[in-house]
A and B are shown apart, each in its own frame.
Chain A
């Protein structure tokens, strides 16, 4: 079993829909990252969380440390949101490294 699990693996949506991507992890963490990888391949950091909730534009990330779960929400989705969204955690045992989920591929159609 992977230490970081994401669901769903693939997601399609119509423009304007509310999107939720989930991430569960099994290790103690010091931080959780949400990353975005566009079809061109580049990876950018969206959020880094250690507790609570963060918002940036139409993106909202939440984390529940007790339940070892995080969600990434996209409000009013747009075709340009189409990308792979990756959850990664920084383990408390070894803060040098990130442990990555396999990603959620999102396609938003007009």
Chain B
């Protein structure tokens, strides 16, 4: 049981380049999330997917797109990277967002630098 996996772990991009961050979970969770973490700020929600086939904007969606490819996978795409997107990105999943027992499981993070 790998939990939540993310690739890549590190990435350096030039301004204007595109890339996709991959996330997968093997816990049969329904809801998946993408967060960014910046120094001095709490984790901020970029996009989430409450169930397979649905996606919704979070707090900071501008400059990003997402795809919930199937129940296991939720990818985050930067179409034209900007230095302001330099951050650590975390993917997370939860079995049932409406349940009292809704512990979130986090991936190991992707450290992205945009030059």
**Which residues does A use to contact B, with CB under 8 Å?**
2, 4, 30-31, 33, 35, 41-45, 48, 50, 86, 88, 90, 95-103
Contacts of A4 in B (CB 8 A): 42
Bound-state CA distance A99–B45 (Å) is 9
Contact in complex: A100, B88 (CB < 8 Å)? no
Bound-state CA distance A35–B42 (Å) is 12
Contacts of A31 in B (CB 8 A): 100, 102
- Let me know if B79 is at the binding interface, CB within 8 A: no
Closest residue of B by beta carbon distance from A3? B42
Bound-state CA distance A43–B4 (Å) is 11
Bound-state CA distance A1–B56 (Å) is 25
Contact in complex: B56, A48 (CB < 8 Å)? no
Contact in complex: A86, B43 (CB < 8 Å)? yes
**Which residues does B use to contact A, with CB under 8 Å?**
31, 40-45, 48, 50, 56, 58, 88, 90, 97-98, 100-106, 108-109, 111
Bound-state CA distance A2–B44 (Å) is 12
A31-B100, A86-B43 are known contacts; what are 10 more A-B pairs with Cβ within 8 Å? Answer: A33-B104, A42-B109, A43-B106, A95-B97, A96-B48, A97-B48, A98-B45, A100-B42, A100-B43, A100-B44
Contacts of B90 in A (CB 8 A): 43
Q: Given A96-B48, A97-B45, does the pair A48, B108 have CB atoms closer than 8 Å?
A: no
Instruction: Sort A-B residue pairs by CB-CB distance and give the 7 closest, nearest first.
Output: A100-B42, A43-B106, A100-B43, A102-B42, A41-B109, A45-B103, A42-B108
